[in-house]
A and B are shown apart, each in its own frame.
Chain A
């Protein structure tokens, strides 16, 4: 091998027809982004469903045909039942998300910036982390009843944990050399938080936010199925007792869309807020 390498012509190796492929693709990265590839899997799955229903392999009592689902969705939208349920559910989820994110963020900042705060807050949050929020529901029902406050607080409790954990992690992961720099330019405590702590913790916070959005949705589904008189969950529970799989599927699709839209919004925020980062994903 060594001899052939030595004997290879050194002059004139760069011919005009040679394309240097190394510049086209980073060898160890995931490669360039191809638009639309995210949809290939879901579309295949949908196709499978259509084929199975049309050929009769799939019993409508097990799962309604896709076209029946579409018709049902249209009529549910037309008579206003779906928009109303969606509005109720979206309101619950976003209110719980808002409260959970706010509380989680404040707790993470207090605990991340002071030893006293850490001693007081970190322990209880870690204990809470070990108890699934949904397991607290019986207690919350006793305290708050089965109305909206119980639902919103259950969602907020599920949101708070990932926000706290990831923001706190992000805070603690900030390079101490930046704190040293802040001292040499005599930054005040407030300016230090604004210029170093908050931006430094943003990647962690946004990661937490993505988990939080999923948790909010999960909690939403559960609180709505246990005891609700409105919302998507109520619609699904009702349909389940009448054996209307098409309405159940419409409800599930709406949940999926809620999840996708929420995740998409967080991704957009992420891209805007982390423009300063150069990662494998963006290049």
Chain B
């Protein structure tokens, strides 16, 4: 993979150039999008509904074979996907779901290790329906991580969880990211989630990168931090939302 002059010295994990995707004659969902993600970089992708977030993610995951389009997509060899639903096979026990299609030496031992890493030790023999929504999503994370991905694609992975569970999952994802350091593309509609987790937030507008904002808040990020609040206001403005009175109170 060639790096582009002036962009980064690191080898990029993802390189997208002039990506077009359209589902109908009327107009494209992605209109010549360019994007580079460095290896080990955590990028959050936000945008309004229909801005093409999921389409981009599916293009990177290679899940859009029947969609019309053109462009260059370079992704690493090992790519894992976490969906909004946990997508665990209901007829396979949790461990069997985690090691589904896993090759290499002793997959079950690695699966058990991944389960304990996401806090599900002892639940390996449970059926998926016996887990709570948060636990199911933890199992889905274990299924992704056990494959040691160079790129982790996450499509609103916490979107269906309640607020408290979501906070716990943020901590877990941070911990896992620190331990394994894959490149991550997190699609989300939650601006706070994007600022709290990512190194870089990309706002998608009409199928191209509207803005690309680096988050330099360090490891400890609190929504009470004035820089956090101003970033959030800036991102919400990009999305066309005007901040309410709540901002003054904070």
Contact = CB atoms under 8 A, between A and B. Distances in A.
A195 B91 CA distance: 9
Interface residues of B, number: 21
Contacts of A180: 63, 87
B92 A195 contact: yes
A180 B62 CA distance: 10
B85 interface: yes
Interface string A179-212: 0111111111001000110011010000000000
Contacts of B61: 184
B100 A184 contact: no
A43 interface: no
Interface residues of A, number: 21
Interface stretch (A115-123, A125-133, A238-246, A273-281): A273-281
A185 B102 CA distance: 8
Contacts of B101: 182, 185-188, 191, 195
Nearest to B127: A276
A22 interface: no
A259 to B, nearest CB: 29
Contact of B127 (A178, A185, A275): A275
B147 interface: yes
Contact of B87 (A178, A202, A275): A178
Given A195-B100, A276-B127, A183 B62 contact: yes
A61 interface: no
Given A185-B101, A195-B100, A178 B62 contact: no
Contacts of B186: none
A277 B90 contact: yes
Contacts of B143: 185
A191 B101 CA distance: 7
B175 interface: no
A177 interface: yes
A275 B89 CA distance: 13
A275 B130 CA distance: 12
Contacts of B90: 276-277
B147 A185 contact: yes
Given A276-B127, A278-B129, A178 B63 contact: no
Interface in A159-189: 177-178, 180-188
A186 B92 CA distance: 17
Nearest to B85: A177
Contacts of B81: 184
Contacts of B128: 276
A245 to B, nearest CB: 50
A86 to B, nearest CB: 37
B87 A177 contact: yes
B100 A185 contact: yes
Contacts of A275: 127
Nearest to A277: B90
B80 interface: yes
A278 B61 CA distance: 32
A178 B63 CA distance: 12
Contacts of A196: 89
Interface in B75-104: 79-81, 83, 85, 87, 89-92, 100-102
18 contacts: A180-B87, A181-B83, A182-B101, A184-B61, A184-B63, A184-B80, A184-B81, A185-B143, A187-B100, A188-B101, A195-B89, A195-B101, A196-B89, A199-B91, A199-B92, A200-B91, A276-B91, A276-B92
Interface of B: 61-63, 79-81, 83, 85, 87, 89-92, 100-102, 127-129, 143, 147
Interface of A: 177-178, 180-188, 191, 195-196, 199-200, 202, 275-278
